Amino acid sequence: MQVRLQKLLADAGVASRRASEKLISEGRVLVNGQPVTQLGTKVDPETDRVEVGGRVVRPVEERVCVIVNKPRGYVSTVKDPEGRRTVMELIGHMGVRLYPVGRLDMDTEGLLLLTNDGELTNALLHPRHEVPKTYVAEVDGLPTPETLSRLRRGIRLEDGPTSPAEVKVLKSTERGATLSITIHEGRNRQVRRMLEAVGHPVSFLKRVRFGPLDLHGLKLGQHRFLNMAEVARLRAAAGGARAPRAMRRRSPDAGTAAPRASAQTSPPRSNQAGLTRSGSKRVTRRGK
């Protein structure tokens, strides 16, 4: 069966779909010994020989999805040219090439997904599917009801207006507030920019939910494999993204070695994980 060349590369873990398109446009992909630069070119993985950088690309039948509770101080990339720590150091060698599903900035903690399933990644990140992502933010100052209404309606940023957000006040003190904010987009540093735009800079930010998944049982710095049911729920949240012909069957507790103790292996429940500040002993539990 023929598939688009960039999809084959993304599914095989060579690069993301967009990065694969760039490789093709630059003439760095060979099909049966000849460079191909036309986007949308279709190949048959069973009969065509596809090479990138002198290496043969083989279709990946098995898919792996990993959930990580990312601490601050790690960048959400496979490699970093500045030599900073990456999330790949948290999961160790998996035997397959995994890529982050979107990004959390270096100063943000929380839920990050990694996978070699390019189609699922694209579906989860596509704006039309509006997959919700929930954050807990500690901000300076006390937002007024009018400010909360502005966030809920959507506000204008330098790259355009945001979609309406779900905002709740979890806790307030004389110095600031703790908010739960759910967005359905994935712009760069969006939550931080939204809150700064309304006069409440973020001092601490953690993503606690991505679609149907939360951080239940996963301590800061830990990871675990998603089970089949969890991946199915992700696909449903992403507009029913088509499942590959095979997916790697791993027990939820396999490969959870990380810089911290082993994670619990029970499937995620709907309650919110505890929030822990990196490098701090303070642990608080808050409702959504």
In a domain, 268, yes or no: no
% of residues, the chain, pLDDT over 70: 83
Domain containing residue 16: 3-56
pLDDT of residue 263: 44
In a domain, 78, yes or no: no
Confidence check: pLDDT of 241 > 70: no
In a domain, 277, yes or no: no
What's the pLDDT tens digit per position in 43-74?
998 889 999 988 898 776 578 999 999 999 99
Confidence check: pLDDT of 279 > 90: no
Average pLDDT score over residue span 121-131 = 91
Rounded CA-CA distance 283/198 in Å is: 28
More confident of the two residues 33 and 253: 33
pLDDT of residue 243: 59
In a domain, 206, yes or no: yes
In a domain, 259, yes or no: no
Rounded CA-CA distance 121/110 in Å is: 18
Residue 107: CA count within 13 A, CB half-sphere: 10
Domain count for the chain, please give it. Answer: 2
More confident of the two residues 5 and 62: 5
In a domain, 219, yes or no: no
In a domain, 156, yes or no: yes
Grade residue 186 by pLDDT with cuts at 50, 70 and 90.
Answer: confident
What DSSP letter does each residue of 187-238 carry, written as one string? -TTHHHHHHHHTT--EEEEEEEEETTEE-TT--TT-EEE--HHHHHHHHHHT
Confidence check: pLDDT of 278 > 70: no
In a domain, 245, yes or no: no
Confidence check: pLDDT of 177 > 70: yes
Q: Which residues are catalytic?
A: 105
More confident of the two residues 116 and 259: 116
Domain of 152, CATH number, reads: 3.30.70.1560
Rounded CA-CA distance 143/114 in Å is: 34
Average pLDDT score over residue span 207-216 = 96
What's the pLDDT tens digit per position in 68-117?
999 999 999 999 999 999 999 999 988 788 999 999 999 999 999 999 88
Residue with tokens 């449903």: 236
pLDDT of residue 249: 44
pTM of the model: 0.68
pLDDT of residue 223: 97
Domain of 20, CATH number, reads: 3.10.290.10
Q: Which of 210, 231, 266 is the last residue of a domain?
A: 210
Grade residue 255 by pLDDT with cuts at 50, 70 and 90.
Answer: very low
Q: Which residues contact 106 (CB under 8 A, 6 or more apart)?
A: 72, 73, 74, 75, 84
Rounded CA-CA distance 1/42 in Å is: 10
Q: Which of 210, 233, 262 is the last residue of a domain?
A: 210
Q: And the tokens for 174?
A: 């004389």
Q: Which of 27, 56, 85 is the last residue of a domain?
A: 56
